[in-house]
Structure 1
Amino acid sequence: MGVKMRGVKVMNKIRLSVLVIFCLLVFFVSLGRWDLWGPDEPRYAEVAREMLISGNFVLPHLNGEVYFDKPPLFFALIAFSARLWGEMSSFAVRFPSAFFATLTILLTYLLGKRLFNQRVGFFAGLILATNVEFWWLAHRANIDSTLTFFTTLSIAGFYLGLRYPGSRLFFYLIAFLSMGIGFLTKLQVAAIVPGLTLLTFMVATRKFSLLKDWKFYLTLPIFLFIVLAWIVSAYQLGGSQYILQLFYYKTSAMFFKEVSHPKPLFYYFEAFPAGFAPWFIFFPSALILAFQNPYRKQPEVIFLLGWFITNFFFFSLSKGKRELYLLPLYPAASLLVAFLWERYLSFDQDKLLQKLVRVPQYLLLGILTLTALALPLVVYKAPSPIASNYIFALPLSFLILGGVAFVFFNRFIYPERSFLGVTTIIGLFFLFTATFILPQINQSKSAKPFSQKVAALVKDSDKLSFYGLEGAEFNYYTGFIRVKRFYQVEDLKKFFLTREQVFCLIPKKTFNQIQGKTNIPLYPIISEKIGRQEILLITNCQ
């Protein structure tokens, strides 16, 4: 028995080490190889930069004005990362996202191990690391990777507290502490996702003992204290307007009104398959298995289904939708797919399991083969900066084809190798994308080169204005704070009616629309296409 336990512990350490190394390669190696891209990244980086300048870590500011959209924690993490790495670089700004994405993968492994066994946890960690949306957001200075860690930790804490009564106080403490920190990251959703998951599990299993447990009520004040302490501090600095804007107009109102990102009711039914690719191919099979006897009666399976399905429909009811809002559900989806694979490997003679795994497996191998064959041609035909990576696309294609062959020939004899082969292929593809493709796309997406030209010409933020754009990327890359923003032609006209030379950044399309309405001469100096729109720097003097 002792030898067996030692073997389990050794395998646990090996699998944890593999996940850490895999995340280091897939998330961190090329994290800073391209600039911050709008709309979110430079905006969040600028809020963090202004935090460092002002020393105010309670009330976020953007362009010198109170920033109502998000609470302060994520920006404080970026500021801390900048201090840690010695500069406000792309790597430092994205580091919190990659760091918490890695922690989420390790947490998913540990949760899978507790729910089922080591292999489920290990597979789930690899699946989570190699789906498109999670990988992409681990490379972005977006809040959602960080939020997902705290929602996952909170959910895990509640479930493990129910499962292990002897450690219940500790797990509830972790759950509410994580929920409170998550609330400072992205407000209500940090409580809603764990709350709906827990409620669904209690209703489905008819286990309402939690509501009578004094340990639950003893630890609940931890969450309340964290939230209220910040709200009081924010109210003292920002007043009732800040609280109302943050807690309703910028968050809750999105559920009831089409404030921003309006999408139809069934939007997530197409967005989730794309985001969870390529593993979504196995997700319908995972759901079919979960609803089969005896699995549908297992508390662990009920827990995962409640986590995913209830929250999926909750987010679908919201008027405002974005693909990344579903990220807190991705650990549950990964665990369900991992459970499917583990059952298949444990009972490979089961006819239903063979169909549930092998049919989507063949489909995935076909997609990977077509990708490998098309990749060199796609890169070669791409615009010139990307086409220069044609020479690197060829060996990657051969590696993918070799991996597909490896998976195909091991699918019966060593099926676990076929799973690991697929994750390796996907990991290599993501690494290639981050190392070669995204830095080339950066040439047309980055606002940095144009901002440097603007800063060299303007030199003083008082003489610069924005019209028809938020301009956070230009705040960040010029270093200017308190740049005037105009949305009415008359306000812009007043700004230009001065004897000294002043400037304005404006989309070219907008400039063409207002040019005849100002009745004053406006002179374009420089322009550059950034992403999909061309931006002009205009002035009142030739």
Structure 2
Amino acid sequence: MFDNSNLSFAFISLPLMIQKLENFLIKNPGQTFFLLIVLSIPPFLINLGLLPLFADEPTRANVALEMIISKNFSVPTVGAEYYYNKPPLYNWILAGFYLLTGNFSEFTTRLPAIIPMFLYAISIYLAVSYFLKDKRIAALSGMLFLVNGRMLIYDSMLGHIDIFYSWLTFTSFMLIYFFLQRKNWFLLFLISYVITAITFLSKGFTSIVFQGFTLIAVLSYTKNFKKLFSWQHIASGLVSVLIIGSYFYNYFQYNPNFEGYFSTIWDQSSKRTAAEFGLYQSLVHIVQFPFEHIGHLFPASLLLLFCFHKNFINGIKQNPFLTFISVVFLANIWVYWLSPITRPRYLMMLYPLVFILWSHAYYTYREQLPVISKIVDRILLILALAVCLGIPAAYFFELQNFVTYLNIKIVFLLSISIGITFMIWRLKTSKLIPFITLLLVVRLAFSWFILPYRLTHLEDNYFREAAVEMGAITKGQVLYFYQYHPAEADIPFHDQLIFYLQKTRMKQVKFTEDDAKSGYYFTFDRDLKNRNAQLIKSYKNLKLFQIK
């Protein structure tokens, strides 16, 4: 006979368990944050190295690989030709990962971006916890950096420089505030300028813009503008110049073409201005800019609704730290707001400043905005239900052909999602924490299902395999990329081809416009003019020739 006592006990104990969970989340935001950090590691690392390198990844990888092959870490090159677009600090780090791990895989290439991503989130938590003395805001701000839409399913998969660079820039902001509070002008200037030198050697002139606008705005707002003319500022600036100058002095020993280096960096910067794109396109960008980035940051941007409280602005003014990050944000955001081809990853050092303000508004005003709170809670629940419905949809995309143990993974993800959705429904004041956990489940589903699916449908994978095969055929022999100039931009997957060829051969590819020399040649969409050229193999638009 069925025992009703066990069922009754379950119904009685369930509300108590929910209440205990809520009490834990309320009382232990710091422990909750670090638990979420640990839980986020598998979703972000699983299948991280599955897809071929794309976007800017192969360029960074090429420079680092060629440094190792040539044993010259002073001068960045691609295809043995000088590369001027970025200074080499990030490439040194990437080369270090290659040498440390002993491989040049996609997973290793992306680690120098993924590790700083976690360190960045932890840095946000530590800074906000220290300056605001509110671990709830600190935990939420740090996690929003990991689970906003842009980071969750795009930037966290790429071995780009921007996360590392933005982490250092954000750290500089926080240290400026730390020493500003103590009126320690020498350390304020010195440390921020040392970080500026480091970030300059990573990405170039952008670092000077951040340092300049930040210092001018902060010192002006705090009525310390005269400190820009102090010996502490001048001496610290000279230290930064010395660090940057030391690199370029060493660089000059190998390549005296400074004009080519600086003109390229300047040309890249000038392409992002209204002068390049025209007034109409610039105006359209200015109008779209805030809405576009609210979309990129969804669902974190839901918390923007709490900023409409009448006391929000006054609350910022009354808190020195919130005032500081607002001044820093406003001092730097306009550069990107006026730049028509601004990409979201360029703003990663500014996004956390917004997350802090949104988190502050959420915890400060949610009880005073019951209607908005109810709307946000309903949206969270609807999104959670959508995730629960979306996971079984994997069956309709024939993923069994690409995903191992598909049934087990779907059951696992669906069970966790239903449990988390139940918590979102039942918890009263801590709904955001299980919702953030659910977003990590979404990322895990993305890593398990979407990435393998993309692998089989991306043209990049074909060119990776073609480049690896050509590299194997020509290993130990001279290989030229025929007629590289001047149509690099017209060759799809150009840098991918170069990287996978060089990775397979462990020898630099040489660019040439002359087909008179003996050796192997690969071409894109063209034949060799040399009559003695023998076609070895064709790969769609690629061809591999040999001249004996």
Normalised by the shorter chain, which TM-score bucket? 0.7 to 0.9
Aligned 8 A contact 2:113 2:160 in 1: yes
User: In 2, Cα distance between the equivalents of 1:404 and 1:381?
Assistant: 24
- In structure 2, which of residues 142, 156, 165 is the aligned counterpart of residue 138 of structure 1? 156
- How far, CA to CA, are the matches of 2:352 and 2:401 in structure 1? 36
Give structure 1 stretches of 5+ with no counterpart.
1-9, 529-534
Counterpart amino acid of residue 261 in structure 2: I
2:242 is the alignment partner of 1:242: no
Instruction: Say which of 314, 336, 343 aligns to 2:364.
Output: 343
How many angstroms apart in 2 are the aligned matches of 1:419 and 1:287? 19
Residue of 216, 219, 230 corresponding to 2:247: 230
Q: 1:389 to 1:368 in 2, by over 3 A?
A: farther
Q: Secondary structure at the match of 1:504?
A: strand
Aligned match of 2:539: 527
Alignment of 1:459-470 (within 5 A): 459=475, 460-465=477-482, 468-469=490-491
CA distance in 1, matches of 2:517, 2:29: 72
Give the partner amino acid of 1:245: S
Provide the rounded CA distance (Å) in 2 between the counterparts of 1:75 and 1:188.
17
User: Secondary structure, in 3 states, of the residue corresponding to 1:70?
Assistant: coil
Corresponding residue of 1:476? 499
Taking structure 1 as reference, are residues 212 and 477 closer, same or farther at Cα in structure 2, changes over 3 Å only? closer
Distance 1:115 1:252, change over 3 A: farther
CA drift of 1:334 comes to 1.8
Distance of 1:327 and 1:403 partners within structure 2: 29
- Kindly report which structure 2 residues correspond to 1:205-354, keeping only aligned pairs within 5 A, or say none: 205-206=222-223, 208=225, 210-211=227-228, 215-238=232-255, 239-255=257-273, 258=276, 265-266=285-286, 268-286=289-307, 291-344=312-365, 349-350=367-368, 352=369, 354=370
Q: Indicate conservation of the 8 Å contact 2:94/2:109, yes or no.
A: yes
Gaps of 5+ in 2: 1-26
Q: Please point out which of 398, 416, 421 is paired with 1:399.
A: 416
CA distance in 1, matches of 2:420, 2:209: 41
Q: Distance in 2 between matches of 1:527 and 1:394?
A: 41
Q: Deviations over 1:487-523 (max 9, x none)?
A: xxxx5xx63xx697854342xxxx3xx7899999996
Cα distance in 2 for residues equivalent to 1:125 and 1:256 = 34
SS of residue paired to 2:496: helix
Distance 1:23 1:371, change over 3 A: closer
Match of 2:3 in 1: none
> Letter of the aligned partner of 1:334 in structure 2?
F
Asked if 1:83 corresponds to 2:104, the answer is no
Residue in 2 aligned with 1:127?
144
- SS of equivalent residue, structure 2 residue 48: coil
Q: Which moved more, 1:222-231 or 1:75-84?
A: 222-231
2:454 aligned with 1:441: yes
1:443-458 matches, cutoff 5 A = 443=456, 444=458, 445-446=460-461, 447-458=463-474
Query: In 1, Cα distance between the equivalents of 2:444 and 2:497?
Result: 29
| 1:200–1:171 distance in 2 versus 1, CA, 3 Å | closer
Q: Paired residue for 1:537?
A: 543
CA contact (8 A) 2:29 2:136 kept: no
The TM-score, its normalising length taken from structure 2, stands at 0.80
The total of aligned residue pairs comes to: 499
For 1:232 and 1:268, locate their aligned partners in 2 and report how far apart those are by CA, in whole Å: 40
Structure 2 distance, partners of 1:420, 1:290, is: 26
Distance 1:463 1:515 in 2: 13
Distance 1:195 1:539, change over 3 A: same
For 1:532, the equivalent position in structure 2 comes to none
Distance 1:87 1:483, change over 3 A: closer
The residue matched to 1:537 in structure 2 has which SS?
A: strand
Calculate the aligned-residue CA RMSD, in Å: 3.5
Distance 1:221 1:365, change over 3 A: farther
> Per chain length, whose mean CA-contact separation is higher, i.e. which structure has more relative contact order (CA < 8 Å, sep 6+)?
2
Q: 2:204 maps to what in 1?
A: 187
